Amino acid sequence: MRMTKGPVDYEADQVYQEYKEGSKRVRQVLFYSCIRRDFFPILFEEAWAIDPALVKSMAKTVPANEIGPLLLSANGGRPPKIIEIAEKQPQLEFDLKEVNGFFKSLPLAKRKSAVKFLRDYTESEAAMDLNPD
């Protein structure tokens, strides 16, 4: 489900409405399938506002190596500010408070995986800026 691009015949507003009115299962399907859509940051905010516990529980099914891309997508494709890459308590600062809350709620192993992915992503983006060819 996470590898799809969501319902193609739905506009963002329709997805938000379906999410608000849908059952837990419908919400899960929409959340997972829309991770790669450009409106995912707004869907993430809506999901967090409606039921942060559900968003946290859905994160449990996301493999550690995919949590970084989910966070990046939820933050609108913008990498966070890396505050600290400590072993015990890695800290990132995202643009959206909902994404910050979500990151802090993740188990340590997933936070570490996210930090590694986002650090590598940021470094590769910086390298691309220096070497656009």
Per-domain boundaries in the chain? 12-130
pTM as predicted: 0.84
Tell me the per-residue pLDDT of 34-91, one tens digit each, with 9 for 90 and over: 998 899 999 999 999 999 999 999 988 999 999 999 999 999 999 999 887 776 778 8
- Binning pLDDT at 50, 70 and 90, where does residue 3 land? very low
The pLDDT of residue 2 is 39
Q: Under a CB-based contact definition with an 8 Å cutoff, are residues 77 and 66 in contact?
A: no
The pLDDT of residue 123 is 86
Tell me the per-residue pLDDT of 21-37, one tens digit each, with 9 for 90 and over: 999 999 999 999 899 88
Q: What backbone phi and psi angles, to 5 degrees, belong to 81?
A: -80, 130
Rounded Cα–Cα distance for residues 49 and 117 (Å): 26
Check pLDDT > 70 for residue 6: no
| 3-class DSSP assignment, residue 132 | coil
Q: Under a CB-based contact definition with an 8 Å cutoff, are residues 44 and 96 in contact?
A: yes
